Amino acid sequence: MKSNFFIVLFIYLLSSLMNSNSFAESLTRSHCQEPEWVVPAESSDGMFYGDLRMKCKVNLPSTQTQFVKLKTEIENKITKQSLVHAGPSPTQLEDLAGQKWDVSHLILEDGSGVKIREIAELATNLKDHFIYQTHSQDVEAKGMAGYLTAVNFSVRIEKYSKGNLSFIFRNQVSVKRPWFALDLLFAPIARRICFQKMDQIRDQLFPWILNILSS
* DSSP for 182-203, written as a single string: -HHHHHHHHHHHHHHHHHHIII
Position 174 pLDDT exceeds 70: yes
pLDDT tens digits, one per residue of 111-149: 567 889 999 999 999 989 999 999 999 988 776 667 888
Backbone angles phi, psi at 154, to 5 degrees: -155, 150
pLDDT tens digits, one per residue of 9-28: 333 333 333 333 444 455 55
How far apart CA 131 and CA 15 sit, in angstroms, is 20
Q: What's the pLDDT at 137?
A: 92
Domains in the chain (CATH in brackets) are 3-214 (3.30.530)
